[in-house]
């Protein structure tokens, strides 16, 4: 680490969530004295949330690993980097030599997309492993967005972004941006942006089973029964068509399917869907009319719509609603960004169904399989069984469905390698852990989140601290392993330009050849502008930016239209299955939490217990339960205990538990997190409960029951 003296200031972008908030970090020598919002950042304009202040906690965390750890019979021991690389590659090559390339699986966690090295060079390792068994956090919460984008617009990253800074009507379904800072909608300072909508006479409507922080701020809150959003969207579209309110305008000139839309939605009248959704028919009709009549409007749906059994249908129908009202690719509607470093191009368009998972036959999408199949691919014997696993910055034991089953499955692996900064609930099963540099000792540019931002900007952050000489960046780890995994048949080409370039060099090349490169934008430009560069509001990009074969929007992709039959059968076949489970479970987001490793920051977990189960007062009274009591929540696959929080914000019949907790497992080295262990939502979620079309997990709505925990010798039998 270089030594500096005196008072000085460092500017960077926070990488702990999607918001891309600019930070002003004050230092006295090497000691951080304050972290504030950067008022001069053109995107965030001084906004900051509590997570950003914890960047220093993660960097200085005594539990953070800095040297490779090897598991032995006597416990964990520190080893050198070259020895660790040699050992890891030898074990992975041995497994693949004996059982084939598919015998090694890979899981990539959410933090990878918040990291420049992993974003640009993460494929170095996955390509070297040559395995079809790649799993990522994408299929935990956002795969339906990518699926709908690929089928309608030709590219999985061509995601429509709400132009919140210019819209007159913001319809929010199953999202809580005041807690998430925006998700698949990078919107630093979303509180300010929402107030601005209302300040200019616009309207915000939130539809959700819980009166969230965002719903409380909205002009109108509409409660809805979980997983019925698909019916609401169909009824909105049907109303707009039946009343002659559709105005696709210029979009009609490069779109197919509009003439065939009516027979698909005709049966979904507001009167028909009202008893199922719990929303009065008059409310649905009024919402459709107001949305269509607004000078500009945008519909946005996030976690609540994606993590359910009809996630793909919901994201498709949101696009349809925006399209038929002319609110796609125009100011104030849903628009496409023009990022300075643009990875949205034809060669990177995702494929679908080229191979399938071995046990359940789930199709791949974008080169990965649904993470709901990971545990069974490990535990089910036979050709192609996963016998070794590589995890990169992920904690799937806490973040993926039926975490207890995956926890047990990891114990059975022949070999496990983790590239991670913590000894956590997942990596404790590893035979070897390789910890990369992180946060303040890495350079940063948000490759993905500039693609999802509500305004076009660009910002590069140099490292605040120079890493110690005996540490490695993630991209250096990938290259070291790839070199050792090479075989005579598949050599590692050190002379290949991509294997010669650093992330900064790749970034500079992308900026110079990108849409603003002709105007002189380069990495040097960004270095000279530490607060970032404003590139203006979102601009119309269609039809030139479409990647479908005919350069037209496919309004009615066949796979999505066919999936409507599954929704119709689920809601209108007259059969109700409860199996004794009489509550619906949904998750929730907290402003101070994003990934599980944030729970090891004392400043982020202090205060009252946030890992509680929210329940409506009527549901609590019916069960003889009171606020603050410890209760057991049981599903088909598991049972957890946690405090009850009685809240009128919940829809009756629905309970809510946050994700990312459950730090009480043996062998974890997270001192602060274990003091605030909580319980894991994913010990209740069911790997068989998913969106059948896309393969995304359906963390919303596994049936559950809840009872008071009796504290006596055999209380565990409640679960």
The structural domains of the chain, ordered by start, are: 69-140+342-534 (3.40.50.740), 160-335+548-560 (3.40.228.10), 576-718 (2.40.40.20)
Closest CA to 66 of 10, 126, 136, 1: 1
pLDDT of residue 708: 64
Q: How many CA atoms, within 13 angstroms, populate the side-chain half-sphere of residue 612?
A: 16
Please check whether residue 153 is in contact with residue 553, taking contact to mean a CB–CB distance below 8 angstroms.
yes
Match 């497992």 to its residue by tokens. Answer: 665
pLDDT of residue 470: 94
d(CA 615, CA 630): 13
Q: What is the dihedral of CA 702, 706, 712, 716, to 10 degrees?
A: -10
User: How do residues 547-601 score in pLDDT, each as one tens digit?
Assistant: 999 999 999 999 999 999 999 999 998 645 555 678 999 999 888 887 787 899 9
pLDDT of residue 525: 98
CB-count exposure of residue 8 (10 Å: 0-12, 13-18, 19+): exposed
d(CA 593, CA 213): 15
pLDDT of residue 716: 31
pLDDT of residue 596: 81
Q: Which residues contact 608 (CB under 8 A, 6 or more apart)?
A: none
CB atoms within 10 A of CB 30: 12
Closest CA to 605 of 617, 595, 592, 614: 592
pLDDT along the chain (719 residues), means of 10: 82 95 97 97 96 93 97 97 98 98 97 95 96 97 97 98 98 97 95 98 98 98 97 98 98 98 98 98 98 98 95 98 98 98 88 96 97 98 97 96 96 98 98 96 97 98 95 97 94 90 97 97 98 98 96 98 97 65 90 85 93 97 96 93 97 95 96 96 92 89 63 31
The 3-class SS string of 122-148 reads CHHHHHHHCCCCEEECHHHHCHHHHHH
The edge-to-edge listing of strands for the beta sheet with 22-28 is: 7-13, 22-28, 31-37
User: How do residues 293-307 score in pLDDT, each as one tens digit?
Assistant: 999 999 999 999 999
Q: Which residues contact 246 (CB under 8 A, 6 or more apart)?
A: 240, 292, 324, 325
pLDDT of residue 702: 61
Please check whether residue 421 is in contact with residue 438, taking contact to mean a CB–CB distance below 8 angstroms.
yes
pLDDT of residue 467: 93
pLDDT of residue 715: 28
Structure tokens at 85: 């690389």
Please check whether residue 159 is in contact with residue 452, taking contact to mean a CB–CB distance below 8 angstroms.
yes
User: Residue 427, Cα to own-chain centre: how many angstroms?
Assistant: 20
d(CA 562, CA 568): 11
Q: Which residues contact 554 (CB under 8 A, 6 or more apart)?
A: 151, 152, 153, 256, 257, 548
d(CA 456, CA 422): 34
pLDDT of residue 580: 62
d(CA 341, CA 359): 39
pLDDT of residue 704: 67
User: What φ, ψ does residue 705 adopt, rounded to 5°?
Assistant: -135, 160
Match 């918001």 to its residue by tokens. Answer: 19
Please check whether residue 413 is in contact with residue 428, taking contact to mean a CB–CB distance below 8 angstroms.
no
């Amino acid at each position: 680490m270089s030594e500096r003296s005196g008072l000085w200031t460092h500017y960077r972008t926070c990488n702990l969530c999607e918001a891309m908030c600019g930070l002003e970090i004050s230092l006295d020598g090497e000691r951080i004295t304050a972290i504030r919002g950067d008022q001069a950042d053109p995107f965030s304009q001084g906004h900051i949330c509590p997570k950003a202040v914890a960047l220093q906690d993660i960097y200085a965390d005594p539990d953070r690993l800095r040297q490779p750890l090897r598991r032995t019979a006597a416990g964990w021991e520190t080893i050198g980097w070259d020895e660790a690389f040699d050992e890891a590659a030898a074990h992975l090559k041995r497994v693949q030599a004996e059982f084939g390339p598919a015998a090694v699986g890979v899981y990539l966690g959410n933090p990878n997309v918040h990291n420049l090295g992993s974003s640009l060079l993460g494929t170095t390792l996955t390509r070297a492993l040559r395995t079809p068994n790649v799993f990522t956090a994408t299929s935990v919460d956002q795969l339906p967005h990518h699926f709908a984008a690929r089928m309608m617009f030709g590219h999985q990253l061509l995601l429509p972004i709400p132009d919140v800074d210019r819209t007159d009507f913001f319809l929010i379904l199953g999202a809580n941006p005041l807690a998430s800072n925006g998700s698949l909608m990078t919107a630093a300072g979303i509180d300010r942006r929402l107030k601005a909508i209302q300040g200019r006479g616009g309207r915000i409507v939130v539809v959700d089973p819980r009166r969230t922080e965002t719903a409380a701020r909205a002009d109108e809150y509409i409660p809805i029964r979980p997983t019925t959003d698909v019916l609401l969207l169909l009824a909105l579209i049907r109303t707009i068509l039946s009343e002659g309110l559709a105005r696709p305008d210029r979009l009609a000139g490069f779109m197919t399917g509009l003439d065939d839309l009516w027979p698909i939605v005709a049966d979904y009248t507001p009167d028909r869907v009202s008893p199922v959704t719990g929303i009065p028919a008059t409310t649905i009709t009024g919402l459709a009319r107001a949305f269509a009549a607004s000078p500009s409007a945008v519909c946005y749906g996030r976690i609540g719509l994606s993590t359910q059994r009809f996630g793909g249908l919901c994201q498709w129908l949101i696009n349809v609603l925006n399209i038929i009202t002319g609110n796609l690719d125009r100011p104030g509607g849903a628009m496409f960004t023009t990022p300075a470093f643009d990875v949205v191009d034809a060669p990177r368009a995702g494929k679908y169904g080229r191979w399938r998972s071995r046990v359940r036959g789930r199709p791949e999408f974008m080169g990965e399989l649904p993470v709901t199949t990971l545990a069974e691919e490990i535990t089910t014997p036979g050709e192609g069984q996963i016998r070794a696993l590589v995890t990169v910055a992920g904690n799937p034991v806490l973040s993926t469905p039926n975490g207890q089953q995956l926890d047990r499955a990891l114990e059975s692996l022949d070999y496990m390698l983790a590239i991670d900064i913590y000894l956590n609930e997942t990596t404790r099963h590893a035979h070897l852990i390789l910890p990369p540099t992180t946060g303040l000792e890495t350079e940063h540019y948000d490759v993905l989140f500039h693609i999802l931002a509500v305004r076009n900007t660009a910002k590069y952050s140099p490292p605040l601290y120079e890493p110690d000489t005996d540490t490695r960046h993630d991209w250096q780890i990938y290259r070291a392993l790839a070199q050792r995994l090479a075989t005579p048949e598949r050599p590692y080409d050190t002379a290949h330009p991509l294997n010669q370039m650093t992330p900064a060099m790749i970034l500079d090349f992308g900026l110079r050849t990108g849409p603003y490169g002709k105007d002189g934008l380069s990495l040097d430009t960004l270095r000279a502008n530490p607060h970032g560069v404003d590139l203006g509001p979102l601009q119309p990009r269609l039809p030139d930016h479409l990647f479908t074969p005919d350069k037209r929007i496919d309004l009615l992709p066949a796979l999505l239209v066919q999936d409507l039959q599954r929704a119709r059968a689920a809601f209108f076949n007259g059969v109700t299955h409860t199996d004794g489970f009489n509550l619906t479970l949904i998750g929730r987001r907290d402003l101070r939490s994003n990934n599980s490793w944030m729970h090891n920051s004392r400043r982020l977990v202090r205060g009252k217990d946030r890992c509680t189960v929210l329940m409506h007062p009527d549901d609590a009274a019916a069960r003889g339960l009171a606020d603050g009591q410890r209760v057991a929540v049981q599903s088909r696959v598991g049972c957890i205990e946690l405090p009850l929080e009685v809240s009128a914000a919940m829809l009756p019949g629905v309970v809510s538990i946050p994700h990312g907790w459950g730090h009480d497992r043996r062998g974890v080295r997270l001192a602060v997190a274990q003091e605030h262990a909580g319980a894991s939502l994913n010990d209740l979620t069911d790997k068989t409960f998913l969106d059948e079309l896309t393969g995304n997990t359906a963390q919303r709505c596994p049936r559950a029951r809840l009872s008071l925990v009796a504290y006596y010798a055999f209380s565990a039998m409640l679960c």
